[in-house]
Structure 1
Amino acid sequence: MADISRRLGWRHLRSAPTAHVRHHRGGKLVHDGPGLSFWYRSLTAALSEVPVDDRELTMAFHARTADFQDVTVQATVTYRVGDPAVAAARLDFSVDPDTGIWRGTPLDQISTLLTEAAQQHALDTLARSPLADVLLTGVASVRERIEEGLATEPRLPATGLEVVAVRVVAIRPEPDVERALRTPAREQIQQEADRATYERRAVAVERERAIAENELASKIELARREEELVEQRGTNTRREAEESAAADAVHAEAEAARTVRLARAEAEAARQVGGARADAQAAWLRVHAEVDPATLHALGLTRLAENLPRIDSLTLSPDVLTGLLAKLGGAGGGQP
Structure 2
Amino acid sequence: MFGIRYAKANSSTYLIQYRNGQPVREGAGLAFFYFAPSASLVSIPLESVDVPFMFSEVSSDFQEITLQGQVTYRVVDPKLLASLMNFTVKPDGSYVSEDPGKLPQRVVNAVQVQLRAGLQGQRLQSLLSASEGLVAAVREGLRQPDGLPSLGLELVSLAVLAIKPTPDTARALEATVREQILKEADDALYRRRNSAIEQERAVKENELNTEIAV
Indicate the TM-score class for this superposition, using the shorter chain for normalisation. 0.7 to 0.9
TM, length-normalised to structure 2: 0.76
% identical aligned pairs: 30
2:53 aligns with 59
The aligned residue for residue 80 of structure 1 is 74
Q: Deviations over 1:148-187 (max 9, x none)?
A: 1112241533321111221111111112222332234467
**Alpha-carbon separation, structure 2, partners of 1:170 and 1:92:** 34
Q: Look up the equivalent residue of 2:29 and give its one-letter code.
A: G
CA deviation after TM superposition for structure 1 residue 41, in Å: 3.0
Instruction: Write the mapping of 1:160-239 to structure 2, written as runs, cut at 5 A.
Output: 160-185=152-177, 188=181
**Rg larger in 1 or in 2?**
1
Task: Give the alignment partner of residue 134 of structure 2, picking from 142, 160, 170.
Answer: 142
Question: Aligned letter for 1:77?
Answer: V
Is the CA contact (8 Å cut-off) linking 2:3 and 2:37 kept in structure 1? no
The letter of the residue matching 2:174 is R
Distance across 1 between alignment mates of 2:100 and 2:88: 12
1:131 match: 124
More helix per residue: 1
Matches of 2:65 and 2:155, distance apart in 1: 25
Matched, 1:17 2:47: no
- Counterpart in 2 of 1:121? 114
Aligned partner of residue 16 in structure 1, secondary structure = coil
State the match for 1:105 in structure 2: 98
**Alpha carbons of structure 1 residues 175 and 56: separation in structure 2 relative to 1, 3 Å:** same
Calculate the TM-score normalised by the size of structure 1. Answer: 0.50
Partner AA of 1:171 in structure 2: I
1:107, 1:178 → 2: CA distance?
A: 39
Deviates more, 1:106-115 or 1:82-91: 106-115
Q: Contact 1:142–1:168 at 8 Å: present in 2 too?
A: no
Check the 8 A contact 2:86/2:100 in 1, yes or no: no
The change in CA–CA distance for 1:57 and 1:107 in structure 2 (over 3 A counts) is farther
Name the residue aligned to 1:44. Answer: 38
Instruction: Specify which of 32, 35, 42 is matched with residue 29 of structure 2.
Output: 35
Unaligned stretches of 5+ residues in structure 2: 186-214
Gaps of at least 5 residues in structure 1 are 1-6, 193-336
* C-alpha distance in 1 between matches for 2:178 and 2:104: 40
Determine the C-alpha separation between the residues in 2 that align with 1:84 and 1:71: 36
**Rounded Cα–Cα distance in structure 2 between residues aligned with 1:17 and 1:179:** 52
Among 20, 23, 42, which residue is 1:26 paired with?
Answer: 20
Give the drift of 1:10: 3.1
Give, as a single letter, the amino acid of the residue that structure 2 aligns with 1:90. Answer: L
- Compared CA separation, residues 135 and 17, structure 1 to 2 (3 A): same
Three-state SS of the structure 2 residue aligned to 1:154 is: coil
CA contact (8 A) 1:21 1:48 kept: yes
CA contact (8 A) 2:141 2:147 kept: no
* Residue 13 of structure 1: how far off its partner (Å): 1.8
Map of 1:309-328 to 2, 5 A cutoff? none
